[in-house]
Structure 1
Amino acid sequence: MDVIMPVIPLLLTFSLALLVVAAGLASSRGDFTYVVSRPALLLKAFEAIMLIPVLTAMLVIAFLPLSPAVKAAILLMAFSPVPPLMPGKALETGGHSAYVYGLMTTGAIFALVFVPILGALAANYYHVHAQFPLAVVARNIAGGVVIPLAIGLALGRWLLKDAAPRLTRGITILAHVLLVVAAVPLLVGVWPQMMMLIGDGAAMAMALVVFAALVGGHVLGGDTIADRSSLAITASLRHPGIALALAGANHADKAVSAAALLFLVIGFLLLIPYLLLLRLLVTTEA
């Protein structure tokens, strides 16, 4: 298992990259620049995706008695946007495709710019020796967003335009399979550590961060439920590949990886009632 664990962040990044390829295939011209070209939307995205999760994480760490590993994992996940499964989940709730895909691009830019900066500031503030290399983040963004997006756009708009819908479905299924393949050994490897975290306040602390991001994204998302849900999902689901890669770069204890995975699981669990509430709201409006 110890031999497999270093490969997991790469497998997670690759599976998420396939989702980006599928997004590129399904997108229309201008979708991925929709948010960054609109300053008002970009500011709201920054508040929801970066500002609210990071500030909430710092407050939780300051006021709740948490272990160092849990504190590190909460900060790493709060620093790491570009959420998993975001395009599919947001589009399933009726999200505007240009806004959904535009938020994905925005999250990638935020990660590239702010993860090294916030990491350095946090290391200095908390007086810990930790590194947040730009190269680590850049590799994840390049391998997980930039390159697959270019591939998806090339396939969908020039090379295999007629087959794009069928190809999108096939790639999406493969990406989900690889996510499961990556998750199983990861869960097996850190399950004991995860279970130890359940009763010491870690789960509640993580839930507070995710809940704040969900509420913040929903409030800031716009006038329609679809756009609100798109930003809420983007803000609340974080990128495990970046967080785990940074943990590995700092030779962190396995407990940090376990806590980061627990954060991801809690994010998905809290998303379930939120999606059910959205369906209720949509049904009521109809």
Structure 2
Amino acid sequence: MELLKQLVPLLLTFSLALLVVAVGAASTRGDLLYVFRRPALLAKALLAVSVIPVLVAIAVIAVFPVSHATRAGIMLMAISPVPPLVPGKMMKFGGRNDYAYGLYNAMAALSVITVPLWGIILTHLYAAHAIFPPAVVASNVFIGVVIPLVIGLLFGRWLAPERARRAAPVIVKIAMALVILAFVPIILGVWPELTGLVGDGTIVAMAVIAVLALLGGHLLGGPLLGDRATLAFAAAMRHPGIALALAGANHGDKSISAAVLLFILVGMIVMMPYQAWIKRRLAAEGPAPSGA
């Protein structure tokens, strides 16, 4: 049992990292710096992905009487951007490849700065005893996001570009199977704490945060509907691996992990009506121009 407790976090980290490898492998030349080369896009992306969700979370937990563990889980998710599934989802809903991959790459690179910075700010804001040393936080982001992205880019751009792009969908399927395999024991381990969060306003608070993050991304996404959906997904979806790693670094109890997992579930449910609406709008408008 003790061995399983040690293996499951490693499996989750590896599977999420594998998804990031697929992102790097599938992207093409020019995608990496697409957003970095456009200051206006970069500023809007930072505001939507790394600022608005955190500010909304601060406001929401000040209004809703949720538990301390729930507040911690919500804030950890709010400061943990760039989930690996985002680029694929973006392009299913009209997102342009260059913008989707460029946005992901930019947010992944900048998360090494934004996550530690928010950790320090929130620690002082709440006078908490949590430990968010930049080196520790950055190492989690670096290992889980930056290194896998570089590996994917290395194979996708130079070592074996054609094979890497063909292998990317297979890698995604394998990684998703591993993610499910890792999440099942995690959910079972925190099930009592997870069900205990239902009914005290936690779900409503999380839903409000997800809705406002989606709205912020949509409004800042520009004139193209596909770009709006791209930024909305990036803003609303967070990285559970980073949040759980931060919780573990601070010896967080099961209630915090349960709040992180519930945040994911609530966010997925909240996005369903938005996804349906985007599909209807895209069907009515027809294909968006590429390379805008």
Regarding TM over 0.5, the answer is: yes
* Identity rate, percent: 51
For these two proteins, the number of residue pairs brought into alignment is 286
State the SS of the aligned residue for 2:238: coil
Cα deviation, 1:172-227, whole Å, max 9, x if unaligned, reads 11111111111111111111111110111011111111111101001101111111
SS in 1 for 2:190: helix
Shift of 1:170: 1.3
Which position in structure 2 is the counterpart of 1:22?
22
Are 1:270 and 2:270 counterparts?
yes
Give 1:6 shift: 4.7
Query: 1:19, 1:175 within 8 Å by CA — same for their partners in 2?
Result: yes
SS in 2 for 1:94: coil
Give 2:212's aligned amino acid. Answer: A
* Whole-angstrom CA distance in 2 between matches of 1:84 and 1:209: 20
Matches within 5 A, 1:30-49: 30-49=30-49
Contact 1:111/1:137 (<8 A) preserved: no
Q: Give yes or no for contact 1:12–1:240 (8 Å, CA) kept in 2.
A: no
Q: Structure 1 residue 143: deviation in Å?
A: 2.2
Name the CA shift for 1:102/1:182 in 2 (closer, same or farther; >3 Å): same
Structure 2: distance between partners of 1:219 and 1:91: 18
Q: Tell me what 1:74 maps to.
A: 74
Map 1:100-179 onto structure 2 (within 5 A): 100-179=100-179
Letter in 1 for 2:157: R
Q: Which amino acid aligns with 1:17?
A: A
Deviation at 1:7, TM superposition (A): 4.2
Instruction: State the Cα distance separating 1:234 from its structure 2 match.
Output: 0.5
Q: Judge conservation of contact 1:115–1:132 (CA < 8 Å) in 2.
A: no
Query: Residues 270 and 112 from structure 1, CA distance in 2 versus in 1: closer, same or farther, beyond 3 angstroms?
Result: same
Aligned equivalents of 2:169 and 2:260: distance in 1?
A: 29
Distance 1:103 1:280, change over 3 A: same
Gaps of 5+ in 2: 287-292
Letter in 1 for 2:103: L
Q: Is the 8 A contact 2:80 2:240 kept in 1?
A: yes
Once the two structures are superposed, what CA deviation does each residue of 1:102-131 show, in whole Å capped at 9, x if it has no partner?
A: 111222233211222222221222122111
Spell out, residue by residue over 1:81-100, the C-alpha distance to the aligned partner (whole angstroms, 9 max, x if none).
11241111111112111111
Name the counterpart of 1:181.
181
1:285 aligns with 2:285: yes
- Structure 1, unaligned runs of 5 or more: none
Q: 2:258 and 2:54 mapped to 1: Cα distance?
A: 20
* Cross-structure match for 1:208: 208
C-alpha RMSD of matched pairs (Å)? 1.6
Q: Does 1:51 align with 2:25?
A: no
| Deviation of the 1:162 alpha carbon | 3.3
For the residues of structure 1 that align with 2:2 and 2:62, how far apart are their CA atoms?
A: 33
Question: Which residue in the other structure is 2:236 paired with?
Answer: 236
Deviation at 1:2, TM superposition (A): 5.8
